[in-house]
Chain A
Amino acid sequence: DQQVKQNSPSLSVQEGRISILNCDYTNSMFDYFLWYKKYPAEGPTFLISISSIKDKNEDGRFTVFLNKSAKHLSLHIVPSQPGDSAVYFCAASAISGGGADGLTFGKGTHLIIQP
């Protein structure tokens, strides 16, 4: 039973354009959401997060949007750069559990930035 779903296994975007990665979740207890970026043979690297009390969080080229009623979040990268080519994981947590819970991950989306 996948509680965090990333329905696009891969996404190809031209350099300089906007990349939009989507994520859906089913567990209403989730109240904190994170995006991680992963290169081959490396560990996931934290990118950006958002609490359920917000609907948008921005950090440089990266913006995460949260639609609680739809249980949907998205990561926007603009402009996309070649170094952004990686696998992006959406993750969720119920921090009301005290903050020592594991993250629940989606299966990831492989973003390919084309020159």
Chain B
Amino acid sequence: DTAVSQTPKYLVTQMGNDKSIKCEQNLGHDTMYWYKQDSKKFLKIMFSYNNKELIINETVPNRFSPKSPDKAHLNLHINSLELGDSAVYFCASSLRGGTYEQYFGPGTRLTVT
């Protein structure tokens, strides 16, 4: 059983389009995250949700909108895609008040042409 899953794994789209990436975890965690790994391989936090409530929004353009329908899911919707949005996006989850380790999904490689 996959602990943290993301779909799709690869996403190629044109500038100006709107796209979504889905994330699901079956670990019983209450906190979920989105990270972006850019071309320089830097992993940076974008958003953090705890029990469906937004905790962190790290100066991400408002074209990016996370949505958490329940504790096990955190989706990322991106409007008006730009070339600079090309990156690998990782979803992660953890248990707040637990041991603080975050468990990552396999990543979604987004390419904007």
| A interface residues (Cβ-Cβ under 8 A, vs B) | 32, 34, 36, 41-46, 49, 87, 89, 93, 95, 98-105, 107-108
Q: A98-B96, A100-B48 are in contact. Are A46 and B35 (CB under 8 A)?
A: no
Check A107–B100 contact: CB distance below 8 A.
Answer: no
B interface, how many residues as a size bin? 20 to 34
> CB distance A42 to B107 under 8 Å?
yes
C-alpha spacing A103/B35, complex, angstroms: 9
Q: At the interface with chain A, which of B14-22, B39-47, B69-77, B79-87?
A: B39-47
The listed residue (A43, A101, A102, A105) touching B107 by CB distance below 8 A is: A43
Name the distance in Å between A33's Cβ and chain B's nearest Cβ.
10
Contact (Cβ within 8 A) A102 B33: yes
Given A43-B90, A103-B45: 4 more A-B contacts, CB < 8 Å: A100-B56, A101-B56, A105-B44, A107-B42
The residues in B between 29 and 59 inclusive whose CB is less than 8 angstroms from any CB of A are: 31, 33, 35, 40-46, 48, 50, 55-56, 58
Contacts of A46 on B, CB cut-off 8 Å? Answer: 101-103
Q: Does A108 contact B35, Cβ atoms closer than 8 Å?
A: no
State A61–B74 Cα separation when bound (angstroms).
Answer: 35
Closest 6 CB pairs of A and B: A102-B45, A43-B104, A105-B43, A99-B96, A100-B50, A100-B55
Question: Given A100-B50, A101-B48, A102-B45, does the pair A43, B100 have CB atoms closer than 8 Å?
Answer: no
- The answer to whether A44 and B40 have CB atoms under 8 Å apart is no
Determine whether B97 belongs to the interface, using a CB cutoff of 8 Å to chain A: yes
A90 to chain B, nearest CB (A): 11
> Is the CB of B68 closer than 8 A to any CB of chain A?
no
| A49 neighbours in B (Cβ, 8 Å) | 99-101
Contact, CB under 8 Å: B42 / A105: yes
* CB of B2 to closest CB in A, whole Å: 11
Give Cα A25 to B31, complex, Å. 25
Alpha-carbon gap, A46 to B27, bound state (A): 14
How distant is the Cα of A44 from the Cα of B45 in the complex, in angstroms? Answer: 14
